[in-house]
Amino acid sequence: MSDKERSDNERSDTAPTEKAPAEQAAETAPPAGGTPAGKAGITAAKAALKDVPPEPGASKPDPILTASGVRRAFGGLVAVDVDHLEVQRGTITALIGPNGAGKTTFFNLLTGFDRPSQGTWEFDGHRANRMRSYQVARAGMVRTFQLTKALTRMSVMDNMLIGAHSQIGERMWAGLFPRLWKRQEAANRERALSLLERFKLIDKRDDYAGELSGGQRKLLEMARALMLEPKMIMLDEPMAGVNPALKQSLLEHIKDLREDGMTVLFVEHDMDMVHEIADWVAVMAAGQLITEGTPDQISADQRVIDAYLGAHHDAAQH
């Protein structure tokens, strides 16, 4: 299996997209398989962000995502009001902030799961603010959910296969003629198997997804997202509800994503975890982006500490 699978992976890695520095760097790293040996990605990411000033809305050398004036109001309540945010290609960027800061709402807006009151954003050179959620995913920005959405009454394998993109057999009429899609299905299956192996779910492939533990569901969700071969992956609280033993391996998987040339944006509460894996941190409070910077810069920033304390103050009022 490994030979064929490897060639498959290589093919997918060298998909015909314009090559960002980080992506090129990723290609020199060993292909998927979960070996933490490759460090090219992190080096490239650090280098790219070296000269970016730690201030809200700072511009980046090669942003994959650029959002401007994004605003979402529920009735009178403004949940999100972000002036400008750029996400550097090939980095792991964390979005942090106190409860109710509007992180998840911002996520929903970016991925098309909610409609903004106003605002525009570009993903990978395309206007994305009018796209529907499935179009966003097809464009290469795939998300996961805070509460995992495993398709419980389907097998782990089917969960993986449903993730594969541009399947011929997903057209209704084509579904009637297995000959049209059998070969593609087999290739997808190979790819799913290799991903399951990488995420250590291979033994569970014939179980129902509903039988997995919380942490395994997180892993499955991430692996499923990779079936789309995304350029950018958005993780909504990937550590929520995961037991400590699994946390470390989940962290490693996220780091691997960067080594594979993907951009990661994730929402998180836990500062320790952010410190460990993020190249860049954006901080939200009360719907606004209050600052950005490297993890070290952020933990030293008085505004962030105020925001967290202030949020507690705010929360008490509600």
Partner 1 sequence: MDWQFVFSQALTQAIGPTMLVYALGAIGLNLQFGYTGLLNFGQAAFAAMGAYGLAMAVVAFDLPFWWGIAIGLAAAVVMALLLGIPTLRLRADYLAIVTIAAAEIVRRLARATVWSDTTGGSDGMRGFSEPFFEMNPWPPDATWEFLFVSMDSGRLVIDFGIFSLQYSNRDLWVMTVGWALVLFFLGIMALLVHSPWGRVLKGIREDEEAVRSLGKNVFAYKMQALVFGGIIGAVAGFIFALSRANVQPDTFTTDFTFYFYVVLILGGAARIFGPVLGAALFWFLYNLLSQGLIQAVRAEVIPQGMLSTTQIGPLVFFLLGLGMVLLLIYRPQGLIGNRKELMLDVR
Partner 2 sequence: MLLSAALAGLLLCLGVSSNATAQEALGVHGTLDDQQDQPVAGVSITVTDANGTEIATVVTAEDGTWAVPLETEGDYVVILDESTLPEGLVVRNCKPRLEVPISSDRTALFPLDTQTDGCTPGESPTGDDSPTSDAGGDPGDESSETDDSDAADDAAADEVSEVEGEGGATRAISLLVSGLHFGLMIALAAVGLSMVFGTTGLTNFAHGDLVTFGGIMALLFNITFGVPVWLAAIAAVILGGAFGWAQDWGLWARLRRKGIGLVSMMIISIGVAMLIRFATLFFVGGERERYDQYVGQKPWDFGWLVITPKEVVTGGIALAVCILVGCALLFTRLGKATRAVADNPSLAASTGIDVNQVIRLVWTIGGALAAMSGVFLSISDGVKFDMGQHLLLLVFAAVVLGGLGTAFGAFVGSMIIGVFVQMSTLVIAPELKYVGALVVLIIIMLSRPQGILGRRERIG
* Residues at the interface with partner 2 (CB under 8 A): 74-75, 104-105, 107-108, 113-114, 146
DSSP state of 286: T
- The binder of 88, among partner 2, partner 1, none, by C-beta within 5 to 8 A per type, is none
**Tokens encoding 84:** 């400008």
CB of 159 to partner 1, least distance (A): 8
Contact status, residue 150 vs residue 216, Cβ threshold 8 Å: no
- The binder of 194, among partner 1, partner 2, none, by C-beta within 5 to 8 A per type, is none
Distance CA(259)–CA(254), nearest Å, equals 9
Q: E-assigned strands of the chain?
A: 63-74, 77-88, 92-96, 118-123, 126-127, 141-143, 232-236, 263-267, 280-285, 288-293
Nearer to partner 1 by C-beta: 153 or 318? 153
Stretch of 72-80, 150-158, 197-205, 269-277 lying at the interface with partner 1 (CB under 8 A)? 150-158
Stretch of 24-32, 40-48, 127-135, 198-206 lying at the interface with partner 1 (CB under 8 A)? 127-135
Burial 178-204, CB ≥16 within 10 A → b, else e: eeebeeebeebeebbbbbbbbbebeeb
H-type helices in 14-117, by residue range?
Answer: 21-28, 40-49, 103-110
Q: By CB under 8 A, tell whether 176 contacts partner 1.
A: yes
Distance of CA 236 to the CA centre of its chain: 8
Nearer to partner 2 by C-beta: 104 or 263? 104
- The binder of 75, among partner 1, partner 2, none, by C-beta within 5 to 8 A per type, is partner 2
- Site residues for partner 1 per CB under 8 A: 111, 113, 132-135, 137-138, 142-145, 149-154, 158, 161-163, 165, 167-172, 174-176, 178, 181, 185, 208, 210-211, 224-225, 227-228
